[in-house]
Amino acid sequence: MNVSIFPVGHYGLAGVLVAATMIGGGFSAAEIPGPPAPAPEGHRWVLNDALSDEFDGVRLDERKWNNPFRGWKGRVPGLFVPEAVSVQDGELQIRVGVLDPPRGDQGQWTVQCGAIQSKRPNAHYGYYEARIKASGTSTSTTFWLKKRRDRKDPQSKSTELDILECVGGAQRFAAFGDHMLSNTHLEYAPQPGVAKEDAVIKKGGRSPVGGRVADDFHTYGCWWVNPTTMRFFLDGKEVHTIELPTDQDPAPMNQPMFMNLVCETYAWEVPPTPESLRDPALNVARYDYVRVWTLVREVK
C-alpha cells in the first residue's frame, strides 16, 4: 500500500512527515497513540516529526525550536529570556521569575518569561496536541500557531490559531484559570473603503477542564480541518468547534504558521507578585510533549 500527502497544495509538507519512524526522544511513531479524531475514510494520520517533541532529552532541540521567540521580546513587564526555558524530567519547563535587576533602558522589564517557536512556519492542516500543566502565577501558559502579515504585501494577512490560552493564577477573569480557552485572530491589510474593524476577524470557544489548569496535566488538542473549521479536544474528548465566516475571505485560515509554546504577562491581568514568581510550586509551566499529525491519503 502506498500513501500520498493530503492536502499537499504547494507547501511541501512531504518533507516534514515520517511514517512509523523514530522521532525526537527515541520513541517510535508506532508506540504513540494517534489523535482521538478518527481519520476520514481512505486516509490515516502520520506523525509530523518536524513539529513533534517528547522533551525527553537534556536540552532543548535547537533543530526544531527557536529560544527565545524570534522578533518578539514579550509584553512589558514580561521579557522572554532563554534561561527561562529548560528540558528536564521528560518535560519542557518554562519558569517565570523576578528579573533582578530589571532590564531595559527604563527598567521596564521586571518579570522573567519564556517562549519557544518552531524553526519554520510549516504548521498547516492537521491535528495538534500538547499535554500541559499551567503555572500557578498570573502569567499565561499557551499553545498556539501564528503567521504575521507581511506589511510590504497589500494582499497578505495575519493568521493566529490559539489552541490553549490560560492563566493558572487568573485573578481578573476566572475562566482563564479553569477553562480550555481557544481563539482565532485574522487581520487583513487595510484596503480603501474598508473600515478598520472589518479588516479583523476573531472567533473563539471555551470548555471547562473540571478543575484548575494549574492543578494537573491536561491534554489539549485541535484538529485544524480546513480553512474554516477547527475542532478542539480536551483530554481526548471533542469539546468545542470554531467555524470561521467566509463572506470576507473564502479561505480565512489557510496559510502555514509557526507553532509557539509561550508564557507571558498580559496587560489586562493583575501582575504576578514577586512572591509567586519565586515560588517553585507555582512558577513553572510544564509541557510533557507536543505532537502533530498530518492526514495522508491511502492509495491502493
- Reported as a single tens digit per residue, the pLDDT across 54-85 is 999 999 999 999 998 999 999 999 999 999 99
Which residue in the list 91, 129, 165, 264 is annotated as catalytic?
A: 165
Q: Cα–Cα distance between 114 and 94 in angstroms, integer?
A: 6
- Give pLDDT tens digits for 127-167: 999 999 999 999 999 999 999 998 888 788 999 999 999 99
- For the segment 247-256, the average pLDDT, to the nearest whole number, is 95
> Distance between CA atoms of 116 and 142, rounded to whole angstroms?
11
* Residue 85 β-bridge partners: 94
Q: Read off φ and ψ for residue 95, nearest 5 degrees.
A: -105, 120
Length, in residues, of the chain: 300
Name the one residue in this structure whose C-alpha cell is 480550555.
180
Peptide bond into 102 cis (omega under 30): no
The verdict on pTM exceeding 0.85 is yes
Q: How far is CA 132 from CA 20, 58, 97, 189, 231, in A?
A: 25, 19, 19, 35, 19
Write down the pLDDT at residue 193.
64
Q: pLDDT over 70 for what percent of the chain?
A: 88
CATH number of 2-299: 2.60.120.200
Question: What are all long-range contacts of 276-280, with beta carbons under 8 Å and residues at least 24 apart?
Answer: 276/136, 276/137, 276/138, 276/169, 277/96, 277/97, 277/98, 277/111, 277/112, 277/137, 278/97, 278/98, 279/136, 279/137
Conformational region of residue 62, where left means phi above 0, alpha means psi within -120 to 50, and beta covers everything else: alpha
- Beta carbons of 276 and 270 less than 8 angstroms apart: no
For residue 185, the one-letter residue type is H
Rg (CA), the chain: 19
- Residue 50 phi, psi (nearest 5): -65, -25
Parse the chain into domains and list their residue ranges.
2-299
Neighbours of 53 (CB within 10 A): 26
Q: Is the pLDDT of residue 191 over 90?
A: no
Range with the poorest average pLDDT among 4-8, 40-44, 58-62, 218-222: 4-8
165 is catalytic: yes
- Catalytic member of 91, 129, 160, 264: 160
41 is catalytic: no
Smallest CA-to-CA distance from 187 within 155, 146, 158 is with 158
Helices (H), ranges, the chain: 175-178, 274-277
